[in-house]
Structure 1
Amino acid sequence: MFQYLFSSRRSGSNPEALTSSADARGCRQTVLARSQFIFTLLSQETRADCGLSFQLAARHYCNKSITEKKKKKKKKKKKKKKKKKKKKKKKKKKKEEEEEEAEEEEEEGEEEKRKKRRGRR
Structure 2
Amino acid sequence: MKEGVQDRRAGAVRRYDVFHTDCPAREVVDHVTSRWGVWVLIALRNSDLRFFELRESVRGISEKMLAQTLRALVEDGLVWRKVEPTTPPQVTYGLTEFGRDLGVPLTDLLERITRRLPPPPVVP
Q: Which has the higher strand share?
A: 2
Structure 1 length as normaliser, TM-score? Answer: 0.25
Which protein, 1 or 2, shows the higher relative CO under an 8 Å CA cutoff with sep ≥ 6?
1
Bigger radius of gyration among the two: 1
TM-score normalized by structure 2?
0.24
